[in-house]
Chain A
Amino acid sequence: MQNYIIFSTLLFAIGIAGLFINRKNIIILLMCLEIILLAVNTNFIIFAKAWGDIAGQAIVFFVMTVAAAESAIGLALVVLIFRDKHSISVDQLNQLNG
């Protein structure tokens, strides 16, 4: 049990670290997001098993569906950004800069 939690926490930390460290590539950002969601899903499964509650496992399916939709939209955005800027570098996407 403990090991599983440590595993999912590590997974989450890797995802977050990826978001922070990565400044080059939006695709990597999306992948990091997927890793975070994966960590969440792992947690859901662990605790569903621990409490004996099937609802946790059911929610995982929802999360996976949402994650799939999200990455689809994300990839579409990446395509559009590339078409516009000929680059997918995160550093160049700072138009919200005040």
Chain B
Amino acid sequence: MNILWYLAVTVVCAPLLGAITVGLLNKKLSRSLAHWITCSLMLVCFGASSSILVGFLIGKFNTVDIDLYVWGNTSNLSIAVGFLLDRLSALMIAIVSFVSLVVHVYSIGYMHDDPGYQRFFCYISLFTFGMLMLVMANNFAQLFFGWEAVGLMSYLLIGFWYKKEAANFASLKAFLINRIGDMGFVLGIAAVLYYFNSLHFKTVFAQISTLVATNPMLAITNTVQWPAISFICICLFIGAMAKSAQIPLHVWLPDSMEGPTPISALIHAATMVTAGIFMVARMSPLYEYSETALTLMLIIGSLTCLFMAILAIVQTDIKRIIAYSTLSQLGYMVVALGASAYAAGIFHLVTHACFKALLFLGAGAAILAVHHDQNIFKMGNLHKYMPITAVTMLIGNLALLGFPGTSGFYSKDLIIASVRNSSLTFSTIAYYIILFTVLITTFYAARLMLVAFRTQERMAEDVREHLHEPRKVIWVPLIILAIPSLFLGMIMITSILNQFFGDAIFVLPAHDTVAMFKTQDFHGWFSMWLHGFVSLPFVCILMGMCLAWLCYEKYPALPGIIQNDAKLMTRILLAKFGFDDFNEKIIMPATRKLGNYCWQIGDVLCIDGIMVNGTANSVGRVAGVLKHAQTGYLYHYIFIIVAGLLALLVWTMFL
């Protein structure tokens, strides 16, 4: 029981304690007390987690794997609640608690007038607890607990304004889609238990080489057999697809913007959606042996990356634009995982958490300023009234598109370089796709900035009169987030390339695309910065910026003309490639219809109608026929008695 152990328990318990206190007392607690309790406990949590990270960085702590208590014990399977702390989880808890703390503080301002103030703080603390349990898990069951806990909190928070029909719909949709992924995840866990007889990470990873040597096959049908390891990896990845919103399970994320903006920042940008990325990185010893799964990730990731970026172009809701950009960035991370560049994926996860939280919180500030109107075409020239928000938003957007020097540049460039180095079949196509996406990313980011923060003022007159910089609790978090969005990349890139994660991430030497980048192209963060200005991505950035400037500043009529000329394309884009329509017009009614058939035909008609009541009715019917023998006339009865007697007599005498 060393100090690391106590720190770990503090990290997990502080937000839980805050959530329980505020949750149970709820309205009995004054508003200020509610946020003081949760924010100070979050501060404790952040302090503990950052000291864990620092401890790992200065080499004071080593990887620990301790069980807290035995959760369940059945036959030879023992499932414990415990913590695995290594450099991967240390980095994750630090970033999660950091973003969460900032969002807690921001919410004091953003949720100021909301009637569900205490409930909100309870939820976000509980969410943080779930996310921390997820990243610190040392076994699959606990991972699944955290996995579901964040999904649940996301459900509750999207539906936070429970009077809004759209919010209720979106929350249920999010939860359902997440559960579809969980189906795959549970099957993956079951397969892990089947082949490794354990759910503990350490035990499972230790047996992988034996499993790879025997390479067992799982019979899907009589003729089709899959390598067990690929099966496990793909099942787990299906879970990650739902949680990290990859095509085709991405549909919940844009809708989740119905929740309060701090939630969009915390859950649907910085933390929960990255759970899938984290999980795959954590499972890197498994994924390394399945090129099928890696290729699948490359394909899914690059498709998500490109198509979701394209959708961001046609959105007018500021939060939805950022939501689609999240989808696209998650695509980058998945592509990185597919190229075995787990370190690059996690690196992008961390930088993305900072700049995406910044973007959402900045968008929230803008939304507050224009009285809860989210349409960017009803904003315009906001930088005149709220310069801090505008500047921080600009920083966030530059990081998003990967402008050389920003944190997003380092992580995204690393991903692009790693994919170029990858030798998987699909990697070349993926490389060009993600390169092209940089152009589109730049275009929609520039569009957002130009339309909302520059050009002419389109908001209503009474709104404009009240435009001003938001309260301090709102803009201070923006600045706190802007700093790492700018500088985190420079600080981290060298150590990321120098085996930052140690043995937490396992890469086969043949797949090690990050190491290839390091040996071939890397000469320190500064030269990487300079080199950024002469690389292909920068060309894409410039082209994207020019295009956006042409469309939205120089010739504002241009987008309208294009829309008129390319009607079909516009319709497809506005319909978001039809995923939602497919779900809502085909899957949902079909399921309900199937349910109705099962009920009306299966249960009511066949089982109840024919079998159960049918039996009862046929008894009744037979009795209805037989009852006519019962005439009620004495002489009939006597006749039958005598006839019977005679018959018996004859029978006994003659037979």
| Chain A residues whose C-beta falls within 8 Å of the C-beta of B632 in the assembled complex | 93-98
Tell me the chain B residues, 465-516 only, with Cβ under 8 Å from chain A: none
Quick check: B635 and A20 within 8 Å, CB to CB?
yes
B567 within 8 A of A: no
B217 within 8 A of A: no
A29 within 8 A of B: yes
| Chain B residues whose C-beta falls within 8 Å of the C-beta of A96 in the assembled complex | 630, 632
Quick check: B631 and A97 within 8 Å, CB to CB?
yes
| Chain B residues whose C-beta falls within 8 Å of the C-beta of A21 in the assembled complex | 635
Q: List 8 A-B contacts (CB under 8 A).
A: A19-B634, A20-B635, A93-B634, A94-B633, A95-B632, A97-B631, A98-B626, A98-B629
Quick check: A98 and B634 within 8 Å, CB to CB?
no
Contact flags (1/0) for A30-73 with B, using CB distance below 8 Å?
00000000000000000000000000000000000000000000
| Chain A residues whose C-beta falls within 8 Å of the C-beta of B635 in the assembled complex | 19-23, 90
| B503 CB to nearest chain A CB (Å) | 88
A78 within 8 A of B: no
* 8 Å CB contact of B642 from A16, A29, A97, A98: A16
Bound-complex Cα distance A22 to B639 (A): 13
Quick check: A20 and B631 within 8 Å, CB to CB?
no
Quick check: A90 and B634 within 8 Å, CB to CB?
yes
Quick check: B634 and A29 within 8 Å, CB to CB?
yes
Quick check: A20 and B638 within 8 Å, CB to CB?
yes
6 nearest CB pairs, A to B = A98-B627, A94-B632, A97-B632, A98-B630, A96-B632, A20-B635
| B647 CB to nearest chain A CB (Å) | 16
Tell me the nearest residue of chain B to A32, going by C-beta.
Answer: B638
B628 within 8 A of A: yes
Question: A residues engaging B (CB < 8 A)?
Answer: 16, 19-23, 29, 90-91, 93-98
Tell me the nearest residue of chain A to B642, going by C-beta.
Answer: A16
| A74 CB to nearest chain B CB (Å) | 12
| Chain B residues whose C-beta falls within 8 Å of the C-beta of A16 in the assembled complex | 638, 642
Tell me the nearest residue of chain A to B633, going by C-beta.
Answer: A94
Quick check: B627 and A19 within 8 Å, CB to CB?
no
Quick check: A98 and B628 within 8 Å, CB to CB?
yes
Bound-complex Cα distance A29 to B635 (A): 10
| B306 CB to nearest chain A CB (Å) | 81
Bound-complex Cα distance A23 to B633 (A): 9
Tell me the nearest residue of chain B to A94, going by C-beta.
Answer: B632
Quick check: B634 and A97 within 8 Å, CB to CB?
no
Tell me the nearest residue of chain A to B624, going by C-beta.
Answer: A98
| Chain A residues whose C-beta falls within 8 Å of the C-beta of B629 in the assembled complex | 98
* 8 Å CB contact of B638 from A19, A23, A91, A95: A19
| B637 CB to nearest chain A CB (Å) | 9
| Chain A residues whose C-beta falls within 8 Å of the C-beta of B642 in the assembled complex | 16
Quick check: A20 and B627 within 8 Å, CB to CB?
no
Bound-complex Cα distance A62 to B631 (A): 33
| A26 CB to nearest chain B CB (Å) | 9
| Chain B residues whose C-beta falls within 8 Å of the C-beta of A23 in the assembled complex | 635
Given A90-B633, A90-B634, A91-B633; 17 other pairs, CB 8 A cutoff: A16-B642, A19-B635, A20-B638, A20-B639, A21-B635, A23-B635, A90-B635, A93-B634, A94-B631, A94-B633, A96-B630, A96-B632, A97-B631, A98-B626, A98-B627, A98-B631, A98-B632
Contact flags (1/0) for B555-586 with A, using CB distance below 8 Å?
00000000000000000000000000000000
Bound-complex Cα distance A23 to B626 (A): 24
Bound-complex Cα distance A97 to B635 (A): 13
| Chain B residues whose C-beta falls within 8 Å of the C-beta of A95 in the assembled complex | 632
| A17 CB to nearest chain B CB (Å) | 10
Bound-complex Cα distance A63 to B581 (A): 94
Quick check: B638 and A97 within 8 Å, CB to CB?
no
| B499 CB to nearest chain A CB (Å) | 94
Quick check: A97 and B630 within 8 Å, CB to CB?
yes
| B559 CB to nearest chain A CB (Å) | 86
Of A22, A23, A95, A96, chain B has the most CB atoms within 10 Å of the CB of: A96
Tell me the nearest residue of chain A to B623, going by C-beta.
Answer: A98
Bound-complex Cα distance A98 to B620 (A): 13
